[in-house]
Amino acid sequence: MSASTILVHPTHTFPSLVPEVRSSTIQKPKALLPKMLQGKSITVGRLLSQVQPQPKQAILLGQCQDGLPILMGLEDPTMGAILVSGENSCGKTHQLQVMVDSALRLHTPDELQISILTLHPEEWAYLKVDCQQQPSIHAWYDRRLEKMIKELSNLAEGRRDGKGHQTRHMMILDDLNFVEYLSYEAQMTIHWLLTYGSRLGFTMIATINSVYYNDYRYWIDIFRTRILGRTDLQEVADGLAMRPGSRAETLAPGYYCVWSEHNWLTYRLPLLGD
């Protein structure tokens, strides 16, 4: 499986650097960090306030070293599923929360529906208080989860058969290794959505601890877009990245890297909220 090429550019997508894989696009506004934000805590809301007009079909990843926000476009169906990896306490769940926070700010409920699968629903409980748009939050061990997965499968199959639906769906899989809590049928449905969902209006985003790299290759190899947090073992980092040179072993907690047109780009995660 080839990795998608993640690019940094203000407006358009570069030609693909990987055969048969179009480039996903990360957008960076050209303006410098406004003086009104200098010296203040960097939050999702403040980073998005730098982007005018507000983008559609995009989510925020974080803040680049030059102070600018990095946005990942969601419109390219060949981007595939997105994997966030790294070691314990490097901020994998917080990266997901930044993505979800920005998605809720940039999309209406008619444009995007969000489902979150997690071992720790309490880490997402703030959404029920702070957000008018309520994501669907399920524990991996929740028996009702199987029904929800079946409903999403039916929706995706309907789209595949030409029964169009304008609402996009984002599915968050925090700690993908807990997919083994599910029945075999539900696991195969998740695997199918990870493989084909981006072509059917499903943005699939998962995290996995890098310690599971060798044991979960069946799942990891599906992902075409990779985001790396700190990973001490270079062999594992290169395998997760699908290309060498990430220097993931040098990243501090809360910092991540993605592949740009010619090199690796490092960014930090903002705080949630305004």
pLDDT of residue 53: 86
H or E element, residue 92: helix 92-106
Domain 6-268 class, CATH top level: alpha beta
**Bridge partners (DSSP) listed for residue 208:** 85
Q: What's at 165, amino acid-wise?
A: H
- Return the DSSP state at 110: T
pLDDT score recorded for residue 13: 30
What pLDDT is attached to residue 26?
59
C-alpha closest to that of 29 among 60, 1, 52 = 52
Question: Do the Cβ atoms of 24 and 198 come closer than 8 Å?
Answer: no
DSSP string across 179-219: GGGS-HHHHHHHHHHHHHGGGGTEEEEEEEEGGGTTTTHHH
* pLDDT per residue as tens, the chain (274 positions): 444 334 433 322 322 222 222 334 555 554 444 444 555 689 999 999 988 888 888 999 999 988 899 999 988 888 899 999 999 999 999 999 999 999 999 999 889 999 999 999 999 988 876 666 789 999 999 989 999 999 999 999 888 887 766 789 999 999 999 999 999 999 999 999 999 999 999 999 999 999 999 999 999 999 999 999 999 999 999 999 988 888 999 999 999 999 877 788 999 999 999 8
Give the start-to-end residue ranges of the domains of the chain.
6-268
| Residue 181: φ, ψ to 5° | -70, -20
